[in-house]
């Protein structure tokens, strides 16, 4: 079995859970001490806060287009790096962001769980 497939599949599940506002899938996929470093402002968002925002509809992901995704494996840890273009809505404000991201997964009992995620905005090139 290709060990790289586990973190990549978990990464795809993460994006699908965000798009579908699937709280149960997020609960299962995110580790208890998961932290997201917010792509827009750099703030730390713990698991419960992310799930609360997504579950309430306050934060809605309208599209997520991942690209250039690759993974590195270190024992039971997988580091997924990629690029996304996301359209989302926070309350009544819609925005689009392009970013590079790093997602860190740890394999526990045959399941890959996300422990950390960070996005870095990709700046538009000057014209």
Q: Give the span between the Cα atoms of 84 and 22, in whole angstroms.
A: 20
Q: Is residue 127 part of a domain?
A: no
Asked if residue 34 belongs to a domain, the reply is: yes
CATH number at residue 113: 3.10.450.50
pLDDT at 5: 86
The more confidently predicted of residues 95 and 18 is 18
- Total domain count, the chain: 1
- Round to whole Å and give the CA distance between 38 and 83: 15
This model's pTM is above 0.75: yes
Burial of 92 (0-12, 13-18, 19+ CB in 10 A): exposed
Within a domain: 17: yes
Segment 95-122 shows an average pLDDT of 94
pLDDT-derived band at 124 (thresholds 50, 70, 90) equals confident
107 part of a folded domain:
yes
Q: Write out the residue range of the structural domain in which residue 18 sits.
A: 5-121
Domain membership flag for residue 126: no
Closest CA to 61 of 85, 34, 25, 79: 85
């Amino acid at each position: 079995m290709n060990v790289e497939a586990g973190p990549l599949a978990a990464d795809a599940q993460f994006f699908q859970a965000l798009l579908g506002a699937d709280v149960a899938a997020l609960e299962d996929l995110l580790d208890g001490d998961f932290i997201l470093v917010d792509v827009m402002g750099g703030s730390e968002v713990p698991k419960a806060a992310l799930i609360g925002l997504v579950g309430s509809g306050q934060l809605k992901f309208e599209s997520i287009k991942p690209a250039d995704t690759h993974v590195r494996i270190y024992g039971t840890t997988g580091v997924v790096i990629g690029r996304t273009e996301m359209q989302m809505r926070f309350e009544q404000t819609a925005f689009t962001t392009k970013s590079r991201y790093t997602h860190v997964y740890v394999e526990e009992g045959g399941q890959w769980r996300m422990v950390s995620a960070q996005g870095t905005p990709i700046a538009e090139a000057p014209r």
